[in-house]
Amino acid sequence: MAFISDEYREKLTKKFSEVLKDQVTLKFFKQDEEKCPYCKDTQDLLQELTELSPLIKLEVHEVGDEESRKYNIEKSPVTVLFSERFNTGNVRYFGMPSGYEFGSLIEDIESFSTGDVDLKDRTVEILKAIDKPVNIRVFITPTCPYCPGVVRTAHKFSQINKNIVSDMVEAYEFEEESEEVGVSSVPHTTINMKEEFIGAVPEDEFLSHVIGAISEPN
């Protein structure tokens, strides 16, 4: 079963041929079906994407191998994006990027390939000055139309500063993590487990939450 329709496949192929510049590598981390029931579908979806452009490459790794240890990947399915411009592995998808989140992945691929990160100059200046670890987790569901915008903002922040790790977390697939932070509606965003907010917020407000998370005493 194909995840990408023929019509959308044609549109994406044309768009990628016009937009993409540098190669983007999707490193996919999986486990066996018993531990990860969504891994096969996620890998199949990513494989379909690679068929749409020679500039999109898929690498498949097992949780527990050297590559997963390098990036502290202990669960699956997880997809991490890389390009020559952005190669720190700090933009990640925990769960299958399906539904509305498929659009987030497409935009990430384009941004990683072109180097274009659409943020305000002031935002970029503040982000570049951050010298502390920041972990942003955006909990989503595939049917949430407001989630992709929050995920993309988080991922843009990570593209600007390697100290910022941003995760999309599919709330149903990662129930334990969702329960840990008390997710009841999405998008639900946590930053260093100190700041959190629910819903879509403007760029400036998102940035304020990041600054708040690293400004608070431990």
Looking at 99, 114, 129, the residue that finishes a domain is 114
Residue 149 shares a structural domain with residue 62: no
CB-based contact 77:28 (threshold 8 Å): yes
What is the distance between the alpha carbons of residues 69 and 169, in angstroms, rounded to a whole number?
A: 19
The strands making up 195-198's β-sheet, listed across from edge to edge, are 56-62, 24-30, 78-83, 91-94, 164-170, 134-140, 188-191, 195-198
Do the domain assignments include residue 198? yes
* CATH, residue 85: 3.40.30.10
Please give the pLDDT value at position 217. Answer: 64
Q: How many domains does the chain have?
A: 2
Residue 95 shares a structural domain with residue 161: no
Percentages (nearest 5) of helix, strand, coil residues in the chain: 40, 20, 40
The phi, psi pair for 11, rounded to 5°, reads -65, -45
- What does the radius of gyration of the chain's CA atoms come to, in whole angstroms? 17
Nearest Cα neighbor of 12 from 55, 42, 59 is 55
CB-based contact 168:97 (threshold 8 Å): yes
Do the domain assignments include residue 19? yes
Looking at 61, 96, 114, the residue that finishes a domain is 114
Please give the pLDDT value at position 1. Answer: 75
Please give the pLDDT value at position 156. Answer: 98
Please give the pLDDT value at position 18. Answer: 98
Exposed, middle or buried: residue 14 (CB in 10 Å: 0-12, 13-18, 19+)?
Answer: exposed
Please give the pLDDT value at position 145. Answer: 98
Please give the pLDDT value at position 154. Answer: 98
- In this structure, which amino acid lies at residue 25? T
CB-based contact 139:180 (threshold 8 Å): no
- H helix intervals, 51-96: 66-70
* Other C-beta atoms lying within 10 Å of the C-beta of residue 75: 17
The phi, psi pair for 197, rounded to 5°, reads -155, 155
Residue 160 shares a structural domain with residue 99: no
Please give the pLDDT value at position 172. Answer: 96
Looking at 79, 97, 114, the residue that finishes a domain is 114
CB-side neighbour CA atoms (13 Å) of 113: 23
Do the domain assignments include residue 1? no
Residue 66 shares a structural domain with residue 162: no
Residue 166 shares a structural domain with residue 209: yes
pLDDT in tens, the chain (218 residues): 799 999 999 999 999 999 999 999 999 999 999 999 999 999 999 999 999 999 999 999 999 999 999 999 999 999 999 999 999 999 999 999 999 999 999 999 999 999 999 999 999 999 999 999 999 999 999 999 999 999 999 999 999 999 999 999 999 999 999 999 999 999 999 999 999 999 999 999 999 999 999 995 65
Residue 70 shares a structural domain with residue 146: no
Enclosing domain of residue 56 = 6-114
* Other C-beta atoms lying within 10 Å of the C-beta of residue 88: 15
Q: Is the pTM of this model over 0.85?
A: yes
